[in-house]
A and B are shown apart, each in its own frame.
Chain A
């Protein structure tokens, strides 16, 4: 299993096509999967930056809201019953918003034993299968989320009165962006590795 490691990642020297960009915002060892032709490269990279910024902001909100909740108990006058609810929803949203970022850098928690057992094309075939599973699962989940939103009859959350339709729509962002990264891995990394072609369309 690997959470933060980048044992079998393609480094810059192994990436003549340049579709794997180095981490832009810190010390992550895993490079980001990016198309190598503009403007798509910049667009996908910008999506990654926005994902990180929104994830960080939601985490900041969680801290702020939980502290505000404690303050309400000890400070007279202040009473915002929605703080706990919005903090919980922020955690749910952060989870889905960051799902695509994790996929872009192969940082979802997974057992990486095959990386040590298989080599070359066999490993590429396994990675192709992995990304196909992720892609299909995301597509089905997208449909399931659409069903969930459609089944809503105008309900709102208990304290903050946030429309459930909005709450339930956020996972769509995560599933779409994860599916996008799965497609990029398949097209830019898995298939070229299997066919022996290094130059791929971006």
Chain B
């Protein structure tokens, strides 16, 4: 079975709604049979792909995010942001961004952010007269802060594939995530200048102070996780475990959770873990096939034949990644693309840490664009707004995202300064 046929079969099955893991596994098994390999190689590679210590951080970070979503933590964050930023003109839009930023320190997945707080944000904004497309587009775009800001699940996966420090990748992502937040704030500010009707709510210091104090304890989770990793106390996996324990104890202290709720939190975490890990396992098999077919070498030769200019190379990489992000699920895309791009990027002098930030940022933008647009589909589902309108709404924020992407692509210091300053 030829490689192009394999890839066409996989993409065709993707588009026919075959689960991603099976869409990769099915044709890959046919490939192994056609190439006279024993079939048990497939199972061994799939299991090897999942059985990884760095990847063990993934379910633990998912658990942190699930606790934040399932308990009143998200509500507390929302209340505090509402009272702090609500008085501004178009204040609810800033609240939307601020809540996503706060949530991003506890959750490493955009879909969790969109599903967890997306409907609250969008419904509230629509009730106050904000256009539906503007509101849902903002929720979709701000949800992307989660997978970029540490603890980021895509960063854990990239670090595992590229064999780089997860801590350094986490540190590298902080400035891009803050830049993205700032870009969204600027977009909202410029838009709100034409909407004087969106006046803010009255301000009350006493209520605000109470709400802010109520929202403070969850901030302990990112302090433990990032402080533990960057301070050298824990590995990322250990930090994720301690962070999960802290969140569980916090949820227990709220006294609103029953034993059944805890069982559901663990069940939900197992569900998301299985969804992601099956794709990781399947992608490991596909990566092995691509390596056997010398795809990384072919891509490297092709790119080196096209240009020897790092600026042009990075532009090509960005275009390729944006297209991949539109067509592939981010985790599988990360696992397939990273081994192909990393060696050639290093030849062009691109640091693997910076490349990781670029890859993750590009693939996350794909969560907002058709046909895949995972965040758009989830938001459409939880808000009842047709998905075409979610895509249109998100498109309004894409220029801001692309500006940030170009900045992190062509200004390496934005990603490399902080890890270096921290000695990572």
- Mark A residues whose CB is within 8 Å of B: 1-7, 25-27, 29, 52-53, 55-60, 62-63, 66-67, 69-70, 84, 87-89, 91-92, 94-99, 101-103, 107-116, 126-127, 129-130, 133-134, 136-137, 140-141, 143-145, 147-148, 151, 168, 171
Q: Is the CB of B53 within 8 A of A88?
A: yes
A-B contact pairs, 14 of them (CB 8 A): A3-B272, A5-B382, A26-B264, A66-B56, A67-B245, A69-B238, A88-B51, A101-B274, A109-B329, A130-B17, A137-B26, A141-B25, A144-B41, A148-B40
Contacts of A6 in B (CB 8 A): 381
Annotate B1-33 by CB proximity to A: 1 below 8 A, 0 otherwise.
000000000000111111111110110010000
Give A13 to B46 CA distance when docked, in angstroms. Answer: 40
Give A151 to B42 CA distance when docked, in angstroms. Answer: 14
Give A198 to B41 CA distance when docked, in angstroms. Answer: 42
Q: Is the CB of B378 within 8 A of A5?
A: yes
New contact pairs (6) apart from A91-B50, A102-B271, A108-B275, CB-CB < 8 Å: A1-B372, A59-B270, A63-B60, A88-B52, A95-B281, A102-B274
Indicate which residue in A27, A59, A116 contacts B59 across the interface (CB closer than 8 Å): A59
Contacts of A67 in B (CB 8 A): 241-242, 245
Give A7 to B376 CA distance when docked, in angstroms. Answer: 12
Q: Contacts A70-B234, A151-B40: A99 and B278 contacting too (C-beta < 8 A)? A: yes
Q: Is the CB of A137 within 8 A of B25?
A: yes
Q: Contacts A66-B56, A66-B60, A70-B242: A168 and B47 contacting too (C-beta < 8 A)? A: yes
Min C-beta distance of A98 to chain B, whole Å:
4
Tell me the interface secondary structure of chain B in the complex.
helix
Contacts of B222 in A (CB 8 A): none
- Mark B residues whose CB is within 8 Å of A: 13-23, 25-26, 29, 38-44, 46-47, 50-53, 55-56, 59-60, 63, 111, 115, 234, 237-238, 240-242, 244-245, 248, 263-264, 266-279, 281, 329, 370-374, 377-378, 380-382, 387
Q: Contacts A52-B267, A66-B237, A101-B271: A168 and B43 contacting too (C-beta < 8 A)? A: yes
Q: Is the CB of A94 within 8 A of B270?
A: yes
Contacts of B373 in A (CB 8 A): 1
Contacts of A52 in B (CB 8 A): 267, 270
Contacts of A2 in B (CB 8 A): 374, 377-378, 381
Contacts of B271 in A (CB 8 A): 55, 98, 101-102, 107
Contacts of B25 in A (CB 8 A): 137, 141
Q: Is the CB of A115 within 8 A of B244?
A: no
Please report the number of residue pairs spanning A and B whose Cβ atoms sit closer than 8 angstroms: 219
Contacts of A107 in B (CB 8 A): 271, 275
Indicate which residue in B26, B59, B269, B278 contacts A136 across the interface (CB closer than 8 Å): B26
Min C-beta distance of A108 to chain B, whole Å:
3
Indicate which residue in B237, B238, B273 contacts A59 across the interface (CB closer than 8 Å): B273
Q: Is the CB of A98 within 8 A of B372?
A: no
Give A171 to B279 CA distance when docked, in angstroms. Answer: 14
Q: Contacts A67-B241, A91-B56, A109-B329: A5 and B17 contacting too (C-beta < 8 A)? A: no
Q: Is the CB of B56 within 8 A of A4?
A: no
Closest to B21 in A: A108
Q: Is the CB of A26 within 8 A of B267?
A: yes
Give A171 to B234 CA distance when docked, in angstroms. Answer: 31
Q: Is the CB of B51 within 8 A of A89?
A: yes
Give A29 to B381 CA distance when docked, in angstroms. Answer: 10
